[in-house]
Structure 1
Amino acid sequence: MIEDAPYGRLEALEPGIARLLAHNPSAFTFTGTQSFIVGTDRVAVIDPGPDEPAHVDALVAAVDERELVAIVCTHTHRDHSPAARPLAQRTGAPIIGCAPLALETVGPRADAAFDGAYAPDRVLSDGESIDIGGSPLTAVATPGHTSNHLCFAWGDALFTGDHVMGWSTTVVIPPDGDMADYMASLDKLRARDDRIYYPAHGPAVTNPAQYVRHLMGHRMQRERQILRLVGDEPQGIPEIVAGAYPGLDPRLRGAAGASVLAHLLDLQRRGLADVEEDRWTATR
């Protein structure tokens, strides 16, 4: 996959799968959100992306004369689902996929905020499918990044949204983001036999099983690091971030702090850490 393909240009990836790159690059979206068009005569759009007129125009042009049977969303962050509404209005296609979810968080978010206007015509549960030209597109529930996150399997390809990204680890932001759920969802993917992952950000993952094991190992290593830091003396999250992420890009401190908090809350539930007046300590 070409990471810097021109914005708005339909790029064929393999038979029946193409992508459009939205013009919303950032420290959290990499080169932008990748919208995928799946199918041949009858197609679905997966993660239509931000409500940017040029991107919506490009999606309509990419569908062309084919029947758009579904507009599919993995989750409801604003870099993924808002274009579903104008695309549905212009094509008449139903919005299908994750459940509605919009939360207000205290302070600025490190990633995209929720799409409060998302209103699906149909919500898919784990294992439910829709027919795309005779081939099922099947929901795989993967909570963790958000509680409503779904991946979608089409043949031996898996569209992973933000659960697994090809360029960075996934942000897990409490209270909705949950580290235990995220790890369980990774383990669920590890047990599958997908050939390739197509994330919403970054290049395709061509070694899925190995990559998922790497992601799980990275998170377990981070957990051990956090436990060591709070085992020496009580620490606040900014101190833990400074110790765990030396040389971190200042733009990513909020995301790192959220990830640390997600780990700490999971450790607290397991009886391995506790907090008093915003100072965390290891309990054993």
Structure 2
Amino acid sequence: MDFIEVALKVSPDFADIFTAEMGELGFDAFEDTAEGFNAYIDEDKFDQRELDNMLARYAGYVTAEYQVQKIERQNWNTEWERNFEPLFIGGQVSVRASFHEKPAEAKYDIVINPKMSFGTGHHETTTLMIENQLTLDHQGKRVLDMGCGTGILAIMAGELGASEIVAVEIEDWTVENARENAELNGYGNIDVRLGGAETIEGDQPYDIILANINRNVLLDDMPAYVAVLKPAGTLLLSGFYTEDLPALQERAEELGLTYVSHRTKNNWVSAIFKNS
């Protein structure tokens, strides 16, 4: 399967808004550029009319230009090797590609070869999730990562001592990539599943559930998460904006969860909730 790259020129004030909007259209990998950002989507999912209609809704507020090109899957490594920069998160976590050296000061070291999957740590939501994970006791815990992308959060759970980890993704090639990254980091025992919330129905309860997806999916699927969350278990969410937090909090409280805390970065949010 080949990919479509949309190189969007837009002001920083609207970059996050368009990232979220394009996520709703099926784009699932993004990289910042000097003039805006590039977004990527499977070729068979790309609908230029949907993209044009979305941009037209903002025509009176911002000027946006874009260019489209097809990227062959086998050439993706060249693209991300050229642009992938190593990260250091929370003063403890190194996130790097296999061709980068491990920082000597890293307490945790995660190697990610993304292959078009979302979750290299460069997006604010992934960084926020990892920062929140660092505050949670994972030792010996059973952990679920919904919308796992590259598998970075599941791998982080392993680094923090989780004993059982399940990761779920809706794209077969993303599942393949998450499994490869899990193996690369020594966590080949992570159970990576293809599908959505239906794949966890009837599972043994989890101590920690991680879900970095988007506002609408989180609102729709939160009951499925709570159904397999242990009493006093933790639900950690991201993929939404500051203005969306009240809706997520209201939904969580309807399901018997208690808001604990949240952190923000560039208007993106990661929030922690506790089960009763």
Give the TM bin, normalised by the shorter chain: 0.3 to 0.5
Q: Counting helix residues as a fraction of each chain, which structure ranks higher?
A: 2
The TM-score with structure 2 as length reference comes to 0.34
Q: Counting strand residues as a fraction of each chain, which structure ranks higher?
A: 2
Higher-Rg member (1/2): 1
The TM-score with structure 1 as length reference comes to 0.33
